[in-house]
Amino acid sequence: MSALRLPYPEICELECKACGRCVAACPKGVLRLSEGFNPRGYHYAEYGGEGCIGCGRCFYTCPEPYTLRIHLPARDKAAKKAEA
């Protein structure tokens, strides 16, 4: 399956305060705190690059507005028709 059709988190490095809640909440263990710092001096959260299932737990647990969002692939037409 194309990587473009898989869910993935997008993290705004600048806004992350490194609280680690998303890392703890992720059931797949695909988030971590970076070794590097963001411009505000925090070890921002980052995605390992694969394994996200799009559950949204990281999004709902992040206390910082506009810091974390999840991209979900659009369902294809056949799947939508089957559900109709």
Applying CB under 6 A, which residues contact ligand SF4? 9, 11, 16-22, 25-26, 28, 30-31, 45, 52-58, 61-62, 64, 67-68, 70
Based on CB atoms, which residue is closest to ligand SF4, 38 or 84?
A: 38
- Non-local CB neighbours of 45 within 8 Å, separated by 6+ positions: 11, 16, 18, 20, 22, 23, 31, 32, 33, 34, 68
- CA within 13 Å, CB half, 36: 5
Least separation in angstroms between CB 40 and ligand SF4: 11
What is the rounded radius of gyration, in angstroms, for the C-alpha atoms of the chain?
15
Based on CB atoms, which residue is closest to ligand SF4, 1 or 78?
A: 1
Based on CB atoms, which residue is closest to ligand SF4, 29 or 80?
A: 29
Least separation in angstroms between CB 5 and ligand SF4: 15
Q: Which residue has the tokens 């703890």?
A: 24
